[in-house]
Structure 1
Amino acid sequence: MSDELLDTCERVLRLVGTDAEAEVTLTSGTESLTRFATSFIHQNVADAVQRVHLRVALSGRVAEATGNQTDDEALARLVRSTLDAAQLQPVDPGWPGLAPVADAPAVEHWDGATASAEPGERAARVGDFVAAAGDFESAGFCSTEGVTVAFANSAGQQLSGRSTTATMDGIARSGTSDGSARASSASLADLDGAAVGRDATRRARESADASDLEPGRYEVVLTPSCVVDVLGFLAIYGFNGRAVEEGRSFARIGEAQFDPAITLTDDVMHPLSVGLPFDAEGTPKRRLELVNAGVTSALVKDRRTARALGNGESTGNAVAGAGSWGALPANLVLAAGSVAPDDLVGAVERGLLVTDLWYTRILDPRTQVVTGLTRNGVWLIEDGRIVRPVTNMRFTQSYLKALAPGAVRGVGSDLTLVGDATFGVGAYVVPSLHLASWNFTGGAKG
């Protein structure tokens, strides 16, 4: 398959000719979804993906276009329209040129059975989730995705790769409470629908008859789902080279901006990661240490931001369609600790265990002040024991301060892949965290 896709990429480059710089990405695969609500499957859908993306530069005049057909006539139309559009563009002073020839790391997060999974295989996991929920009403989805991607440019770079992802995400609900759980992997066989259902149902059961809690600062134990939200904002608004270029970032290379317990990498080669070993510009990905024992040590850059910053090459983090955002990490890994999740709770004097953060919005990118809500289970902890469920609360918290030196009291051993990370870019591998302080400002109703 990858050889066939690369041949098509070369056909496109030949059609472009030698008067323009050009790069082409061809994506082929299947995205499938089984959804359920009120404890019944109500939708099975599948989308056969075929996408050709072409970017050209004519003497610094840049244009790009996308099509979904690969016959000769369709490819010729795509090339003509893209070249015509480029001639109408002003010269782009920031055009960094094409990625040079370089090998991608030898990693492949691929499972053939997941790529070809039938609706019945996803439905079986949904059935296990629903059975585990028992009398609780349940809803959610099970998805599978398998894509093969080929890249070629007129500078001679050629790469191909393939990746699969499977995700189970569900909620169990009673008349007074909700509980959620999720799991992701490169292999559908790794997903245990019954286990995910039991976790969601336990949280719903233990959240029944929740009562209000006074706003204020509390210790928190954040599950991996919450940690992904925190890291997503730090990545997009902080470690993003474009944000640094524009003066919107908190990141200061070489400074101890985080607790020593925090080591954060972008690492597609991690065994729990998913995704491709190269980025949208054809630059190979590599393991990039963003934070080393609390010290900010690197930024993510695409070719444009690397050129603008003038201090190095692309880190392999270009994202298709993210020209205004800049580079984004798709494979964040937060180093695990040695503490079991239950022991994180056991170390809390008085605080909250939080299942999910949602409806989170940035208030100040430079200080990372974010506001949002909790959902799907919050519990008060006193003297290391969960004593009662708490109604959902609003928070206004600097994510940077939440992870600052002295603020991290424990890092869990429960390293978990969480798919569809913040803003839908990539999937992160993270543990639970015990943090010293989180600012809850009111109830969810106002």
Structure 2
Amino acid sequence: MSGPTELELAGQVVELVRQLGGPAAQADAVVTRADLALTRFANSAIHQNVAESTVGVRLRLHLDGRTAAGSGSVVTTDGLRALVERTVAAARLCPPDPGWPGLTAPTPTPDAPPVDEATAYAEPDQRADRVGAFVAAAGGLSTAGYCRTAHRSSAFANSAGHTASGRSAEAAMDGIARRDGADGVARRCADRLSDLDGAELGAHAAAKARAAADPVELPPGHYEVVFEPAAVADLLQNLSWYGFNGKRYAERQSFAEPGVAQFDRAVTLVDDPLGASGLPFDAEGTARRAVTLVEAGTTRAVAHDRRTAAEAGTQSTGHAVAGGATWGPMARTMRLSGATAGPASASGRSTTGAAAGAVVDADTAALVSGVERGLLVSDLWYTRVLDPKSLVVTGLTRNGVWLIEDGTVVRAVRDLRFTESYPRALGPGAVLGLGARPVRQPDRVDGAWWTAPSLRLASWHFTGGASG
């Protein structure tokens, strides 16, 4: 690689701060080289293949009791100087920042999992092969979606002398198959592109689309549900952003009460950025590690960056993100685990109804088999928080809903709107089973993921059809 490394660039930024802001200026800089590629398909054909390679610089500066942040993508000497100059100028105009927590002291950074080089430098035809397999496995149904790869090399430096560097790589595939207006979905995220099986995903999406034909309307009400991993991912994302967020916790906008049994004993939630190919440090240079947020139903922690940790009288958990002063620290690599499906899911009855076909895998089928009457939900979308404190969320189902009767998936159901408190739905006694096989789901942006098995809940409040 020609030119200065990311760590050298970060060091140059810190040195420029010393020169232009004076010896009292405190600063940290993150330089990230990102190689992102996307192969998108619609109407069962690839219609877009894009790739970009960028270098971005983020600077945070504290000067004379005031804090400002800046960013740029011009990494020449003049470009870095301009970034520092405008950030210094901004700091002098900002209001005082009495909550400034100081900089991360020099500390060791843990070893991150090795990066799969084949994924980091994947070629378009490798993504296209998986798209082709997805389309072929759909058996003539119309398909759409994407396959993406991402590779990041990132470095951190601050004026306290702390430095860190690391790399990450990720691959993801998300696709639908459509038949007569009914969609089936399959999505997966992995450290290695080779672990994404386009044919498996395409066949699964197609089976769900065929099973979703001729849906019936159901009245609103409380239903027992089995959520597939794609739907569970939405629960984890909202729990992270609004519940286990140290800023919201400090502002008393979070449901979280560390030390209290707020969830069913079957629920354990761990944020584990190094359980996959993730960077070993956060936006403030703090070492990242696995953090248990919920253990066997009891809330144990919330995510902290340096600012929220200082307010709470504790230590950062390594969850600082860019823009954290606004958004707060976030756990973006959460994993749901716990006891496997309980006795209620072990009846062994078939889950294959005439209308449904092979709509679920064996792991989800074990949960479905214990449901006397309820709904199987593939996916949630357009979810919006109505009350952050209790985390009441409204949203819609999509990509397939089915009625379950006597442990059997009997027929498709029209999409429904719901209004539900996520913590309540996962509360003590409310989780009737977890699948044994966790599935990693991609976030809307790379660098975040949600890992969960299928989930059986005693009650979910559906408030009407998709139109209201």
TM-score when normalising by structure 2:
0.92
Superposed CA deviations along residues 168-196 of structure 1, whole A, max 9, x for unmatched, are 10000011311010111011111011111
Question: How many angstroms apart in 2 are the aligned matches of 1:351 and 1:152?
Answer: 53
Aligned-partner SS, 1:243: helix
Structure 1's consecutive aligned runs of 4 or more residues displaced over 4 angstroms after TM superposition are none
Aligned-partner SS, 2:248: helix
Q: Is the 8 A contact 1:108 1:161 kept in 2?
A: no
Q: Is the 8 A contact 1:336 1:415 kept in 2?
A: no
Report the CA distance between 1:298 and its aligned residue.
0.6
Amino acid at match of 1:293: A
| 2:298 aligned partner | 295
Identity percentage over the alignment?
51
Report the CA distance between 1:445 and its aligned residue.
1.8
Q: Are residue 308 (structure 1) and residue 308 (structure 2) matched? A: no
1:167-316 to 2 correspondences below 5 Å:
167-270=172-275, 273-310=276-313, 312-316=314-318
Coordinate RMSD, CA, aligned? 1.5
Q: Are residue 435 (structure 1) and residue 457 (structure 2) matched? A: yes
Amino acid at match of 2:443: D
Residue among 397, 415, 420 paired with 1:392: 415
| 2:336 aligned partner | 334
Question: How many angstroms apart in 2 are the aligned matches of 1:275 and 1:425?
Answer: 7
Aligned-partner SS, 2:274: coil
Residue among 365, 378, 387 paired with 1:355: 378
Aligned-partner SS, 1:259: coil
| 2:367 aligned partner | 344
| 1:98 aligned partner | 103
Question: How many angstroms apart in 1 are the aligned matches of 2:26 and 2:121?
Answer: 36
Report the CA distance between 1:109 and its aligned residue.
5.1
Question: How many angstroms apart in 2 are the aligned matches of 1:424 and 1:6?
Answer: 22
Question: How many angstroms apart in 1 are the aligned matches of 2:386 and 2:417?
Answer: 14
Report the CA distance between 1:395 and its aligned residue.
0.8
Q: Which moved more, 1:108-117 or 1:242-251?
A: 108-117
Aligned-partner SS, 1:324: helix
Amino acid at match of 2:327: W
| 2:327 aligned partner | 325
- Aligned length, in residue pairs: 442
Question: How many angstroms apart in 2 are the aligned matches of 1:16 and 1:107?
Answer: 30
Amino acid at match of 2:238: F
Amino acid at match of 1:238: G
Q: Is the 8 A contact 1:37 1:138 kept in 2?
A: yes
Question: How many angstroms apart in 2 are the aligned matches of 1:45 and 1:157?
Answer: 36
Amino acid at match of 1:397: E
Superposed CA deviations along residues 35-91 of structure 1, whole A, max 9, x for unmatched, are 111111110111112101111111221111111122212111111121122122222
Structure 1 residue runs of 5 or longer lacking an equivalent are: none
Structure-2 change in CA distance of 1:285 and 1:414 (3 Å): same
| 1:370 aligned partner | 393
1:124-135 to 2 correspondences below 5 Å:
124-135=129-140
| 1:165 aligned partner | 170
Amino acid at match of 1:406: G
Q: Is the 8 A contact 1:109 1:275 kept in 2?
A: no
Q: Are residue 445 (structure 1) and residue 467 (structure 2) matched? A: yes
Residue among 147, 156, 179 paired with 2:152: 147
Amino acid at match of 2:110: P
Question: How many angstroms apart in 2 are the aligned matches of 1:156 and 1:240?
Answer: 28
Amino acid at match of 2:334: L
Amino acid at match of 1:204: A
| 1:406 aligned partner | 429
Question: How many angstroms apart in 1 are the aligned matches of 2:166 and 2:208?
Answer: 39
| 1:65 aligned partner | 70
Q: Which moved more, 1:29-38 or 1:231-240?
A: 231-240
Structure-2 change in CA distance of 1:10 and 1:149 (3 Å): same
Superposed CA deviations along residues 119-156 of structure 1, whole A, max 9, x for unmatched, are 11111111111111122100000000000000010111
Amino acid at match of 1:8: L
Q: Which moved more, 1:397-406 or 1:83-92?
A: 83-92
Aligned-partner SS, 2:371: coil
Structure-2 change in CA distance of 1:49 and 1:109 (3 Å): farther
Structure-2 change in CA distance of 1:29 and 1:195 (3 Å): same
Question: How many angstroms apart in 2 are the aligned matches of 1:441 and 1:12?
Answer: 53
Aligned-partner SS, 2:143: strand
Q: Is the 8 A contact 1:34 1:122 kept in 2?
A: yes
Structure-2 change in CA distance of 1:353 and 1:195 (3 Å): same
Q: Is the 8 A contact 1:221 1:432 kept in 2?
A: yes
Question: How many angstroms apart in 2 are the aligned matches of 1:135 and 1:425?
Answer: 33
Structure-2 change in CA distance of 1:386 and 1:374 (3 Å): same
Amino acid at match of 2:395: G
Q: Is the 8 A contact 1:109 1:164 kept in 2?
A: no
Q: Is the 8 A contact 2:426 2:457 kept in 1?
A: yes
Q: Is the 8 A contact 1:176 1:209 kept in 2?
A: no
Amino acid at match of 1:361: R
Q: Is the 8 A contact 1:336 1:431 kept in 2?
A: no
Aligned-partner SS, 1:329: coil
Question: How many angstroms apart in 1 are the aligned matches of 2:105 and 2:333?
Answer: 23
Question: How many angstroms apart in 1 are the aligned matches of 2:326 and 2:447?
Answer: 15
Amino acid at match of 1:440: F
TM-score when normalising by structure 1:
0.96
Report the CA distance between 1:107 and its aligned residue.
1.6
Question: How many angstroms apart in 2 are the aligned matches of 1:269 and 1:90?
Answer: 37
Q: Which moved more, 1:332-341 or 1:186-195?
A: 332-341
Question: How many angstroms apart in 1 are the aligned matches of 2:140 and 2:373?
Answer: 33
Question: How many angstroms apart in 1 are the aligned matches of 2:24 and 2:259?
Answer: 44
Q: Is the 8 A contact 1:219 1:348 kept in 2?
A: yes
Q: Is the 8 A contact 1:239 1:251 kept in 2?
A: yes
Amino acid at match of 1:334: L
Superposed CA deviations along residues 104-127 of structure 1, whole A, max 9, x for unmatched, are 221235211111111111111111
Amino acid at match of 2:137: A
Residue among 11, 20, 32 paired with 2:37: 32
Superposed CA deviations along residues 181-222 of structure 1, whole A, max 9, x for unmatched, are 011101111101111101100000110111111211111000
Question: How many angstroms apart in 2 are the aligned matches of 1:55 and 1:219?
Answer: 48
Report the CA distance between 1:322 and its aligned residue.
2.9
Question: How many angstroms apart in 1 are the aligned matches of 2:298 and 2:338?
Answer: 17
